[in-house]
Amino acid sequence: MVSRIILTAFATLLLTGCNMHEQVTLGALIKHHTESRGGAEAIEDVLSLRLDLEITEPGFTVRGEYVATRDGYMRIDIYAGDERVFTEALGPDGGWQLLHGETIATGLSADGETALRRGLIGNLYGLHEFSDLGYELTLAGTVTQGVGEFWAIDQVAPDGFTKRSYFDKASFLIIRETETSALHPDLDSTRTRQETLFTNYKVAAGVLFFRQSQKIDASTGEIVQTVVVKSVQVNPEIDTALFKPPD
């Protein structure tokens, strides 16, 4: 499978070298991006994920355990050392959160719940599946961001949330995204313009996943969050009881 990805990437590079200065279509860009990640079949075979994360924000570093399924369920538990300090989840009855020291879960705001749902789709689904999930995708063409020139696609989620994704012209991987959002909607609903950088793509079960993201406040240049993906498990067995709030 790794060899197939390498051959696909090599073919993509050759194609890019010939057509880099020509206008690309939305369909062609999504197709090349899908192939660069391992192909539609491999991506669609990802039915569940378990991610071990290291999350750094100004003043602290914590550990995260993230699980999600194509049933639309997800949960992330945040730990400081061995102590759970926060949980967010989407379960059969909707979104919930469990704060540090609490035993009774509370609901999420509408913004908090839709943010988790968009994250689930971004983690589990390929871009070629987004239209069927209610997303509106528009080709923005060639754009300059920072010191580079990229292909760009604008996304409008079913909840109306918008962001722009930037594709490296050599690899067709998403390496930047820009959006206006709150970093933690249910802790602080203040929205800021943010840029996220994606690096260190590696293969898991035949699919490329980024292993580090860095979120930057576009108005100040401050790094507000760095996420390092320590491990990726594709299609682990997950007990659906995990997505239900504690009794």
Domain 2-243, CATH homologous superfamily name and number: Lipoprotein localisation LolA/LolB/LppX (2.50.20.10)
What is the Rg, in whole angstroms, of the alpha carbon atoms belonging to the chain?
18
104-125 in b/e form (b: 16+ CB < 10 A) is ebeebeebbbbbbbbbbbbebb
Mean pLDDT for 40-65 is: 98
Task: Provide the residue ranges of all domains of the chain, joining segments of one domain with +.
Answer: 2-243
pLDDT digits (tens, 9 = 90+) for 1-42: 444 443 444 444 444 444 444 578 999 999 999 999 999 999
Q: How many residues does the chain have?
A: 247
pTM for this predicted structure: 0.88
Q: Average pLDDT for residues 103-121, to the nearest whole number?
A: 96
